[in-house]
A and B are shown apart, each in its own frame.
Chain A
Amino acid sequence: MNSAEYSRKIRSVKLMKDIMTNYYIEAKTPKEQTCKKIAWITSGGPVEPLITMDVIPVYPENYGAMIGATKMGVDLCEKAEEMGYSQDLCSYARADIASAVVNGGPIGGLPEPDMLICCNNICGTVLKWYEVQARYFNVPLFIFDTPVCHTEYTKENKNYVMSQIYEYIAFLEEICGKRFDYDKMHEVGRFSIEAQTLWQAVLDTMANTPSPMTCFDAFFHLALIVTLRGTETVVDYYKILLEEMNERIKKDISMVDDEKHRLLWDNLPVWFKTKWLSDKFASYKAAFVADTYTSGWCSSMEYLDENNFLDSMAECYTRIFLNTGCDIMAERIVKMVDKFKINGLVMHSNRSCKPYSFGQYDIGRIVTEKTGIPHLIIEADMVDSRSFSESQIETRIDAFMEMLC
């Protein structure tokens, strides 16, 4: 590795790995020692009340990403198919359902939950997936039902979700056997908002030309804002990461050598091919500097109210990118194209994620029409590598990049 490549590696990665390792170690420590309950929760779910109740939140979707990255997806998906789950179902769900039975994945399975918290703002699949796990583990399931906002956010929607916030708290009080600490909630809320603000700032550093990091780095550093949002650890970490990025900007350190093209990624990552994709685009001097996925954990921050965090959670959790109409999604992408000076859009048509993928053809056309930038659609999957045809995709990327050059 030459000195230019060495200086490009992000220092904070090591600290991030330590934090995540400790997090999983604590989660897998026997409950007799930690005296903490464990909740499995969806990636878009309201985690702050869990942090307030000192419950350890565990994310089957985060584990799904790890399973994809360590290339253990196909085995686990096949096991789920043997259990009777169709190959056409979401690969996160298939991998997790199988992993629970065989204690699979890179850390030998997730610790058993005491409760399941399912928020369907990301999709309807989680509802079914969590029903399966609730039957399997025989534990209470709380569904935080956030109706879709096709064109607007209605007061009926808001009222419904707000009443569920209090049902959620009652649910937690019953399972944990203690009262909800509203003062602590206030503090957790403050940390959550601060962390989201910092995460937004980290992502915003990519607006710089050249960009100090790429979305592939963001996919990695995302884990903390997803899993431990509301803790002071997350705030401290993103401060360090942000400082490092600002330092790189000052020193004009570009993550991609001789950055020429600035691209936007839409949909979840192809977890088992991030390095291949990163290298492939870098060979064309293309850097992914914006994406719709990582920004999902700070883009509805504007609806949060530090002085009334609980109630404002209703709007914040309902109005996420994925829970709005396709035309609203297209508008948000158009804004990002402008802010990050994007000259190409790459959309991952992800077989596992219908809400994120259906409508992409329209969204791509709208973005191209409004901004003039071309778009490329790649059909793949986030975890199941059987749905990734390398030569076909390589050909399409080559053609797209040649057109941009």
Chain B
Amino acid sequence: MSVQIFLLLANHVLFCYSVLLDERTFMIYYIVWKPLEKLENNMVAQELFHEIANNPFSYVESWKNKTGGKVIGYFCSYVPEEIITAAGMLPVRIFGQSDQIEMASSYLQSYSCSFIKSALEDGLSKKYDLLDGIIFPQTCDSIQRLSDIWRMNIKTPFHHDIILPAKLNSESSINYIKELLHVFVEAIENFFGRKIDSEDLKKSIHLSNVVKNTLKQLYEIRMSGDGLIRSKDISAIFKASMVMDRESFTNLFLSYVKELSEMVPEKSDPKRIMLAGGFCSISDFYQIIEESGGLVVWDDFCTGARYFEGKISETEEPVSAIAQRFANRVVCPAKHMGLRTRGDYIIDRALKTRSDGVILVSLKFCDPHAFDIPYLRDMLEKENIPHMVLELEDSSSSVEQIRTRCEAFIEMI
């Protein structure tokens, strides 16, 4: 890595001098150094993604100052961000940054998951005061109550609950989703005084499909084992995709992926690991797996495959199309599609991606995921797919313990 930085600096220096020096120097620049510019662009993009992933609200603040636009915070991938984008507003996914919980413990008991605790802590410490709106979907019991606590204490100007159905496999539930989405559109229009028309929706749906498709492509690039991208970078890209102005992100992202696919692969033979769970709050986790000789080939994370799988139809009526995708995409354990739907998806992907092992990641106090673990283990067992259960507490969970367990697992498979 440091060699590349050195080369980049050298690149800059040479370019500066080359305009002063003779033609020959200039030619050297173009033959030797220009290709490094591709690497440079990608590195700049990558740094930007990481920067935004680590400090989403700095970005949001400057976006707001620059454009004067409205920012809508949301929890969960079941929120129709396409509707928010169509209204010309910026949808920003809330991840909860605070590690130290001080204020939130006067509002939430200790047996709540670190995700909602830290989100509430951030909210109470006024980090989200620049939000113009906040959207709470129906998912788990904790989010349901967080919505009430937030509404009573933080009072974001536009507070909207989209109470999606808990079951997704009936006609009545799909009709209900459609009605809810229409209500959501109207609520935004009334509160912000801005019309959302079919054309706006079609545009934002198209953009959303492009991003999702490209995110999938990124997974496939990683899965090829060519070492072109690290999971830590993918994770940052995902976070950035849920925070940045969607058009700016898309342009940057598309060229990033294009250049990535033109790079020279370095062959290696890592152990292929699939992850299953909600999301991973520990940023070092991916690095730990990679350092232990593993390669993350797929996941069913809410901030991963669940986010991009399934295209929104661009020919159907837009709101119905968004509703239909919610009914078809990879299911979240807080919802019901079938008794083994999630298990079937995980097995199918594990086999298709030639995974050597599956790590079931669960966040402490996350009930929906915890209930799934025994049956997922049974299904993996039947298919003779090695697996391990890893319970994470919060972003400060003992990295050493995780490393030991991952190393042992990867070595064993």
Contact = CB atoms under 8 A, between A and B. Distances in A.
A14 interface: no
B374 A131 contact: no
B138 A148 contact: yes
A156 B109 CA distance: 32
B110 to A, nearest CB: 8
Given A128-B367, A156-B179, A86 B148 contact: no
B385 interface: no
Contact of A358 (B112, B153, B166, B176): B112
A159 B183 CA distance: 14
B369 to A, nearest CB: 9
A164 B169 CA distance: 12
B109 A89 contact: no
B181 to A, nearest CB: 10
Contacts of A325: 148, 151
B107 A361 contact: yes
A317 to B, nearest CB: 14
Contacts of B138: 147-148
Interface of A: 83-86, 88-90, 93, 120, 123-125, 127-129, 131-132, 134-135, 141, 143, 145, 147-148, 150-151, 154, 156-157, 159-160, 163-164, 167, 325-327, 349, 351, 354-355, 357-362, 379
Nearest to B116: A358
B34 to A, nearest CB: 55
A279 B333 CA distance: 43
A351 B140 contact: no
A361 B144 CA distance: 15
Nearest to A150: B161
Interface in B288-343: 333-334, 336, 339-340
Contacts of A151: 151, 161
Contacts of B362: 86
B153 A362 contact: yes
B176 A156 contact: yes
Given A88-B111, A361-B106, A135 B375 contact: yes
B339 A362 contact: no
B108 A131 contact: no
A244 to B, nearest CB: 38
A327 B152 CA distance: 8
8 tightest A-B contacts by CB?
A: A128-B371, A358-B145, A84-B374, A160-B176, A163-B172, A147-B163, A326-B148, A86-B370
Contacts of B11: none
B248 interface: no
B141 A156 contact: no
B14 interface: no
A355 B374 contact: no
B251 interface: no
A8 to B, nearest CB: 36
18 contacts: A84-B377, A84-B389, A85-B374, A86-B370, A86-B391, A124-B368, A125-B141, A132-B375, A145-B166, A148-B161, A150-B161, A160-B175, A163-B175, A327-B148, A354-B111, A355-B144, A355-B145, A362-B107
Contact of A362 (B152, B336, B367): B152
Interface of B: 106-109, 111-112, 138, 140-142, 144-149, 151-153, 161, 163, 165-167, 170, 172-173, 175-176, 179-180, 183, 333-334, 336, 339-340, 362, 364-365, 367-368, 370-375, 377, 389, 391
A131 B142 contact: no
Contacts of A120: 166
B166 A128 contact: no
B108 A358 contact: yes
Most chain-B Cβ atoms within 10 A of its Cβ — which of A125, A358, A361, A379? A358
Most buried by B among A88, A90, A134, A135: A88
A150 B147 contact: yes
A148 B163 CA distance: 7
A327 B151 CA distance: 10
Given A354-B141, A358-B141, A145 B148 contact: no
A33 B153 CA distance: 58
Given A86-B391, A90-B367, A159-B176, A147 B165 contact: yes
Nearest to A154: B183
A342 B173 CA distance: 43
B79 to A, nearest CB: 15
Nearest to B364: A88
B75 to A, nearest CB: 14
A134 B341 CA distance: 13
B250 to A, nearest CB: 33
B149 to A, nearest CB: 6
B149 A359 contact: yes
A135 B145 CA distance: 29
Given A327-B148, A362-B152, A83 B374 contact: yes
Given A131-B339, A160-B165, A358-B108, A167 B145 contact: no
B391 A127 contact: no
A129 B107 CA distance: 27
A183 B90 CA distance: 55
B172 A164 contact: yes
A329 to B, nearest CB: 9
Given A132-B371, A150-B151, 7 more contacts: A124-B144, A135-B340, A159-B176, A351-B111, A354-B112, A358-B149, A359-B148
Contacts of A124: 140-141, 144, 166, 334, 367-368
Contacts of A150: 144, 147-148, 151, 161, 163
